[in-house]
């Protein structure tokens, strides 16, 4: 069965661009089973330094998360941003493929919503109640990395149940003949 890794970063401004402050990832399969989840934060400010999952740096988490990222299908809401932070933290990382739930949502629900942010889509598609039931930590709220990664995973599962979403997530191979 195909597995995905939903990822989200929370960042803070830095002198040379955004600094990874928190990472959340959720490994799940297409039947909706959550296989693993992980979060870590870096001591970049008081909020993240106070986290029970605070570590030396996001880069120091590589041994724990490598197996869930390397050569995997990575999913994110506006994946370009998260992928840039991933590559900044882990330059040697190679992934099989990336999926952008923002792009797919805009295509599946073209001209349906005025706001395609993750928080808005979870509310409009009535997925936030399901997400809130997961309550995996004491800071499981929007705009925290693990919450947003879980939300992205639920959104992807929802999109897989839509014919156009499934087609965009699993594009058919083009025949050369």
Mean pLDDT of the chain: 92
Residue 169 contacts residue 99 (beta carbons within 8 Å): yes
pLDDT category at 127 given cuts 50, 70, 90 is: very high
The answer to whether the predicted template modeling score (pTM) of the entire model surpasses 0.85 is yes
Q: How many CB atoms lie within 10 A of CB 108?
A: 19
Query: What CATH number belongs to 3-169?
Result: 3.30.420.10
Q: 150 CB contacts (<8 Å, ≥6 apart)?
A: 6, 24, 26, 34, 37, 131, 134, 136, 140
């Amino acid at each position: 069965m195909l597995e995905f890794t939903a990822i989200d970063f929370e960042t803070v401004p830095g002198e040379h661009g955004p600094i990874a402050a928190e990472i959340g990832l959720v490994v799940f399969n297409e039947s909706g089973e959550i296989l693993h989840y992980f979060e870590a934060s870096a001591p970049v400010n008081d909020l993240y330094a106070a986290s029970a999952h605070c570590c030396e740096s996001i880069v120091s988490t590589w041994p724990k998360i490598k197996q869930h990222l390397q050569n995997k299908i990575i999913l994110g809401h506006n994946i370009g941003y998260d992928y840039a932070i991933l590559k900044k933290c882990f330059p040697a990382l190679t992934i099989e493929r990336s999926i952008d739930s923002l792009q797919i949502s805009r295509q599946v629900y073209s001209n349906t919503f005025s706001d395609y942010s993750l928080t808005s889509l979870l509310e409009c598609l009535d997925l936030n109640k399901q997400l809130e039931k997961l309550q995996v930590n004491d800071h499981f709220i929007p705009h925290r990395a693990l919450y947003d990664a879980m939300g992205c995973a639920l959104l992807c599962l929802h999109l897989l149940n839509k014919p156009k979403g499934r087609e965009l997530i699993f594009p058919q191979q083009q025949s050369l003949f």
